Every structure is written in structure tokens, then in C-alpha cells.
Amino acid sequence: MSDIVKRYDLPERHFWLHGPRSGPPVEFDARTGMWNVYGYPELHEVLGDPATYSSDTMRVVPKEMLPSEDDFSLKGFITQIDPPEHGKLRKLVSSAFTRKVVGDLEPRIAALTHELLDAARERGRFELVSDLAYPLPVIVIAELLGVSSGDRALFKQWADALFQRDAEISLNQSAEERSADIEATMKPWKEMSAYLAGHAAERRRQPRGDLLTRLVEAEVDGERLPDDQVVNFAIVLLLAGHITTTMLLGNTVLCLDAFPEQQAGVRADRSAIPAVIEESIRFLTPFALLGRATTREARLGGVTIPADQMVMLWLGAANRDPRQFPDPDVFDPDRDPNPHLGFGRGIHFCLGAPLARLEGRVALNILLDRFDTLRTDPADPVQFIPTPSLTGVRRLPLMQG
């Protein structure tokens, strides 16, 4: 069991953080009606085989569990699309969201980090999440898209309503649970769609130098993205673009607090920062769970999964599989290579990974410059996000100085 678990009494539902799992790497859970995959080699196989393990998971969710199609469309929601449409969309959005676009953000990310830390110093207290780890990636993604970062209270409200939910994910919900769930999701979804549709329509009328304009203008093989797909892709960016990176920053500082010898090491040799960030993603995997649906019968980890089944991929557990990572509960940035699955793998590999890594590197460097030591405050304890599919802190007060 790692120091972090002992110290913070993490919920049992984050089972992969509580030491080695006994039991098979793939198993059916009759209670939820889903298959669970925990093992690294098995997950590696699933992510590399989109023909058998489809991202279009809505197909196997009973219709009564979904909102009506008039209310809700996942068209252009890139994480839910399979080949060949996925490749076309990925090419289109990649032509707008390039490495150069991301790389050019470095000075702005550094300036924002300093501004946010200056503001925290003036207030005389420092809570890493609300003072830096949350606002930094939200402001960056809002500025990149070209929407007002001043609206970020709205984005937070939507993201919390969509992601930070305590309910267990199950295909066997009661009718009341289902309708409560649909209602809780549809309101923020609709508000977010309307907000981004307004911006996209305006960019068509009046182009600007932002990512939304590049998305409405992007063209591959003479084809452009229809409006609803621009909106859905912008939703993915706005959601994926901030809560995950918030968790990454918080988790990395938490790891350096829990493993002081690693903090001393990276302070002395800043070239180790990228390795610290990768190990933080393995050790405390922000996006700990993905879903797939089988398109045909499949053999996996010694069992047979029938066609049309929901398969839950526990990235957090695979990243702690001792068959792949010796001493998985040790935070060791010297792992080389470190083939963690925290950004996924294969055709859906995280499109925002270069941005997340850049934000992590720049922010951590500045934190190490400005704080002689990064230390949690025993009098004001760290709080974790309770949602079982996420691993991250929602409050992390640090000692000043």
C-alpha cells in the first residue's frame, strides 16, 4: 500500500490504489451487467483492437437509459467514434489543433502561472487546486478556443455536473435512478451546446485567429465539419482540456510531497520533470476508467466475452499491474521506459497529451522555483475527488515558504 493511501484514507472504490489486486484480469460483474478489465496486457490488447472493442458504447446501453435523440447527439464526439469516421474526424481536428499551436502557448502558460501565484501570494494562502491547478488549464483552453475565460465558473459548473458524480456506473439502474441521471446530465449538456453553438456561428460570420475559427474552417479532402460536430468537438476540448490537467498538476505535487527524496531529486535536476509527470500519470491516473463495447465475441485474459457487451477498462489498475511495472506502488520517475496507459493507446490516444504535458512541465518548474519546498499542510488536509472513475485531488492546501 502506498504512503498516499495510508495517509489520506482513500475510498475502497479506488481499489487499485490499495495494493495488489487478487482475482482475474478480466471478469464479468453481474451487478452492473458489465465486463471489467484490470490487467495491463489485456487493456493494451483492447485499446489496440478498435474493430472488436468499439468506442460507440451508446449502442449497447438500453434505449430507456438514454435521453431522446432530439435532445442529445454524440455526432462528432470524437471519443465515441470508430473507424473509418474516426480517422477522418481526427485528421480534420488535428489540422486545427497542431503541435505548433500547442508549442506556441508556452510563454502564455508561464505568464499565467506567475499571475495566478502572485494573486495567491497577495491573498496570503495557497490552495493548489483553486489557486492554480484548476484555473490554469481552463484559462488556457478557453483562450485557445476563443471563448471568454471569464465564463469559467460556468465551465466548472458543467464539468462538475457531467463528471463528478458519485453514482455507480451500471446497466442495471432502476427507472428512477435512470431518469434522475438523464436529467442531471442533460441540463448542463444543453447549456454547454447552446453556448458553444453561439460562438461557432459567430466565427462563421466573423472569423478570428482562434481554434474555434480554425475548426469551422478546417477542411480535409474538400470536406468541412458540420456545425453540430464543431460544437461537440469543442465540448470535448473544454471538458477534457481542463479537469484532467487539473488532476495531473494536483497529483504531481501530492506525489512530490509524499516522496520527498523525489522532490529533492527533481529540484536538483529539472530535466527530470517530464519523467516525474509521466510517473505521476501512471501512479495516480487522472482518467482511471474508459468504456468500450464488443462488436463480436472475443477471447481476453482467458475468458470469452460475447458480442455487444459493455467492457470497462480500468486504466488506473492496469497502470499498477506488477506484470508490467515492478513495485507498482512505488513512485519512481526513473522507470524507463514508462509505458503507462494514462493517455490511452492506439487510435484514440489523447489528442491533448502534448498540451497537458506542456502545462505540467511549465507549472511544475515555476512552482519549484517559487517554493523552497512543496509541502502539504497537516492542519488543512488534502481532499480527493470521490468519483470512482477519476483519481485526483479537489483541495490541496500547501504550506507557504
Q: Which residues bind ligand HEM (CB under 6 A)?
A: 55, 78-79, 90, 141, 236-237, 240-241, 244-245, 248, 281, 286-287, 290, 342-344, 348, 350-352, 355-356
Distance separating alpha carbons of residues 330 and 341, to the nearest angstrom: 17
Distance separating alpha carbons of residues 199 and 201, to the nearest angstrom: 6
Report CA torsion sign: 258, 17, 155, 219: positive
Shortest gap between Cβ of 254 and ligand HEM (angstroms)?
A: 14
| 83 vs 260 by CB, closer to ligand HEM | 83
| 275 vs 399 by CB, closer to ligand HEM | 275
Chain center to CA of 249? 12
* Cβ-based neighbours of 331, under 8 Å, separated by 6 or more: 2, 255, 258, 259, 262, 279, 280, 283
* Cβ-based neighbours of 32, under 8 Å, separated by 6 or more: 168, 169, 170, 171, 172
* Cβ-based neighbours of 313, under 8 Å, separated by 6 or more: 37, 43, 46, 47, 289, 290, 291, 292
| 25 vs 50 by CB, closer to ligand HEM | 50
- How, if at all, do strands 34-37 and 310-314 pair? parallel
Closest chain position to ligand HEM (CB): 352
Which residue, among 321, 319, 292, has the nearest Cα to 307 in the 3D structure? 292
| 14 vs 348 by CB, closer to ligand HEM | 348
Reduce the DSSP state of residue 270 to 3 states and report it: helix
Reduce the DSSP state of residue 98 to 3 states and report it: coil
- Helix, strand, coil fractions of the chain, as percent rounded to 5: 50, 10, 35
Shortest gap between Cβ of 45 and ligand HEM (angstroms)?
A: 14
| 46 vs 366 by CB, closer to ligand HEM | 46
Shortest gap between Cβ of 160 and ligand HEM (angstroms)?
A: 17
Shortest gap between Cβ of 236 and ligand HEM (angstroms)?
A: 5
Task: Report which residue type is found at 198.
Answer: G
| 163 vs 177 by CB, closer to ligand HEM | 163
Which residue, among 86, 22, 54, has the nearest Cα to 298 in the 3D structure? 54
Shortest gap between Cβ of 271 and ligand HEM (angstroms)?
A: 20
Shortest gap between Cβ of 243 and ligand HEM (angstroms)?
A: 9
| 75 vs 187 by CB, closer to ligand HEM | 75
Cell readout for 236 is 470535448
| 26 vs 102 by CB, closer to ligand HEM | 102
Distance separating alpha carbons of residues 388 and 391, to the nearest angstrom: 7
Shortest gap between Cβ of 355 and ligand HEM (angstroms)?
A: 4
Distance separating alpha carbons of residues 318 and 40, to the nearest angstrom: 4
Shortest gap between Cβ of 174 and ligand HEM (angstroms)?
A: 28
Name the phi and psi angles at 263, rounded to 5. -65, -45
Long-range interactions of 169-174: CB distance < 8 A, separation 24+: 169/32, 169/34, 169/289, 169/312, 169/389, 170/31, 170/32, 170/33, 170/34, 171/32, 171/33, 171/34, 171/61, 171/62, 171/65, 171/310, 172/31, 172/32, 172/33, 173/65
Shortest gap between Cβ of 342 and ligand HEM (angstroms)?
A: 5
| 241 vs 328 by CB, closer to ligand HEM | 241
| 85 vs 118 by CB, closer to ligand HEM | 85
Shortest gap between Cβ of 292 and ligand HEM (angstroms)?
A: 8
| 346 vs 378 by CB, closer to ligand HEM | 346
Which residue, among 303, 288, 292, has the nearest Cα to 23 in the 3D structure? 303
Shortest gap between Cβ of 282 and ligand HEM (angstroms)?
A: 11
